[in-house]
Amino acid sequence: MTALPSHRLAIAGHIVAEAAELALWHFSRRAELRLDSKRSQDFVSEADMAVERLIRDRLQQHFPDDNVVGEELGGELGPGANWVIDPIDGTANFLRGSPLWGVSLGLLEGQKPVLGVVALPVLTELLAAETGQGVFSKGQPFVRDSRFDEVKMVSLGDSADDRLQDAAAFYQGLRGAEWSVECYRCTTVGMLFAAKGLIDGHLQRRTTLWDIAGGLVICAEAGLEVTHAFRDGDIRHMSVAAGTASLLDAVRPLWPNLQPC
């Protein structure tokens, strides 16, 4: 088996693999989970909390001087190394029994993404990437599947913060440009599917840092064009576009302020 290119990426991969096993254990027992609602259609379960605690504990063991930001237990970006956790992205899917949810861990140097590991436990997928080193699957270099690019498919992320009429207009614009539109209700799934070549890209005009931190480097190292933006410097109000050149060329008239990173 090919070794991952750095000790840091190897450790992150092991952490996410362990976290995925724990999340999958909770998934098999989800009928017993305690559930809270953060806001309308935005849920957190004891599984989310348990998985984030596990990841934080492992990061503390291996990288005690690094900063940690998580969806459930908080934190803010610092000037140095920042690990960003989404313990279960797609909690609603997770709770309903859908396989379309994931575990995401990203590393930023300041605000610059440099490493990402994402697992889709039910689908037995785990991709890891580090800037300049490519993408790895099961320890082996991974190459994005670019066959059948004439079949135009895109994942569109939604958000309760997006005005309904704006979201509808964006969707209509994509369909008018002859793109088939998927909505997985999980940013991690959309970005990983884009990195694998199952779709041409993932677009989300309102998202959060923990949703995208793991997938940013994976998509970029897979050869996609990737752009993300902080709104007023707030990690809770961001946007992301990761896709093929043809997709982003088609999207720019619909998203005038979309700029390359």
Strand order in the sheet with 234-243: 180-182, 153-156, 201-207, 234-243, 225-231
- The annotation status of 85 as a binding-site residue, yes or no, is no
The pLDDT score that the predictor gives to residue 62 is 98
- The domain boundary, picked from 92, 115, 142, lies at 142
Q: pLDDT for 47-95, tens place per residue?
A: 899 999 999 999 999 999 999 999 888 888 989 999 999 999 999 899 9
The pLDDT score that the predictor gives to residue 2 is 53
Q: What is the CATH number of the domain that holds 137?
A: 3.30.540.10
**pLDDT grade, residue 33 (50/70/90)?**
confident
Higher pLDDT, 256 or 188: 188
Range of the domain at 69: 7-142
| Same-domain status, 14 and 54 | yes
- The annotation status of 149 as a binding-site residue, yes or no, is no
Q: pLDDT for 125-148, tens place per residue?
A: 999 999 999 999 988 999 999 999
Which two structure tokens, joined as six digits, stand for 1?
């088996």
- The annotation status of 211 as a binding-site residue, yes or no, is yes
Q: Kindly list the distances between the CA atom of residue 199 and the CA atoms of 129, 196, 242, 261, in Å, as whole numbers in the listed order.
A: 19, 8, 11, 21
The pLDDT score that the predictor gives to residue 166 is 80
The pLDDT score that the predictor gives to residue 51 is 96
The structural domain count of the chain equals 2
Phi, psi dihedral angles at 25 (to 5 degrees): -60, -45
- The annotation status of 15 as a binding-site residue, yes or no, is no
CB atoms within 10 A of CB 109: 13
- The annotation status of 86 as a binding-site residue, yes or no, is yes
| Same-domain status, 115 and 88 | yes
Residue 40 has pLDDT above 50, yes or no: no
Which pTM was predicted?
0.92
| Same-domain status, 135 and 24 | yes
Asked, for residue 179, whether it belongs to a domain, the answer is yes
- The domain boundary, picked from 81, 109, 142, lies at 142
Mean pLDDT of 87-115: 95
Asked, for residue 242, whether it belongs to a domain, the answer is yes
